[in-house]
A and B are shown apart, each in its own frame.
Chain A
Amino acid sequence: MGLPSRDRLRAKLKKGDTTVRVLLSHPMHTGRAKNESEELISAEFIQDIRCWRNDDEILTIKCGTATARNPYFSFQLAGGELGDKILVRWVDNLGAKGLIETRVK
């Protein structure tokens, strides 16, 4: 913790709709993999991702361990205007949190 966040968030206006792309930086350990010395790596994965547009909560993504490392998501939002605020926050199973926001371009 305390490291600068390496999460990425892009929101772009295309043909009247907003395309949002999220790339989070997270190891997403399932709790079943082993390290070099054959010890289990304990589970550490993002469980809950929420997305807001201009203070309205619009999307909730719940993840299990089967979400790939450094999770990537992309989706469209109906309508939208330049400068809309898009905010994404996530929480993992150990309680680590992240927050990232951007403006629609």
Chain B
Amino acid sequence: MVDNINQQRRSILKGAISASTLALVAASGLMLPQRLLAHWPKDSFNAETVEDALLALLGEAEVVEDSAVSFKVGTPPSYAVNGASVPIQVQSSLDNIERIAILVEKNPFPLAMSLDLTSAVKLPFKSMIKIREDSQVIAVIRAEGKLYKTSRFVEVDIGGCG
């Protein structure tokens, strides 16, 4: 008799668990597109100066010019034939990096990209960006409440933001 009741309890529990999991999965699946769009930080990406973009994206914090961040732009470094796709590479010895922002000073909208990292992600991070004209390219890393800033000047032959 006891066995029988236990058996029933098992199956009821099982049913309840799978139902709630299903509901969760369905909810997350349906929510995703809106959530993704809603979370795009419009203020930072539409800011027209580096300072505004940084303030909107990373908040106020102490800015340190630091050698713990190494940052490469262009191949060979500091020069790009085609501004429409300039390779960049960010490397750092810092731990607990929360966010990385990459900005191009002379672009109409300086903020090029923003990364949110978890502890599972390690650098270097590589990508390609567009650069309109000769400009400073800035990488800012936020780690443990501080901002680490590094910049490189890049010469561009053909502007890439047309």
Contact = CB atoms under 8 A, between A and B. Distances in A.
Provide the main secondary structure of the chain A interface.
Answer: strand
A59 B118 contact: yes
Chain A interface size band reads: 35 or more
Interface in A1-52: 17, 30, 32-34, 47-48, 50
B113 A62 contact: yes
Given A63-B113, A64-B113, A66-B104, A74 B126 contact: yes
Interface in B3-54: 32-33, 36-37, 39-41, 45
A48 B118 CA distance: 16
A64 to B, nearest CB: 4
A104 to B, nearest CB: 13
A76 B121 contact: yes
A48 B128 contact: no
Nearest to B160: A68
Chain B interface size band reads: 35 or more
B38 to A, nearest CB: 10
Contacts of A97: 33
Interface in B142-162: 160-162
A91 interface: yes
Given A60-B115, A91-B33, A68 B86 contact: yes
B116 A60 contact: yes
B129 A68 contact: yes
5 contacts: A32-B161, A62-B39, A66-B113, A76-B121, A76-B123
Given A62-B39, A62-B40, A62-B41, 17 more contacts: A47-B36, A47-B40, A57-B118, A58-B120, A61-B113, A62-B114, A62-B116, A64-B45, A66-B112, A66-B161, A67-B112, A68-B84, A68-B160, A74-B125, A75-B122, A78-B121, A95-B37
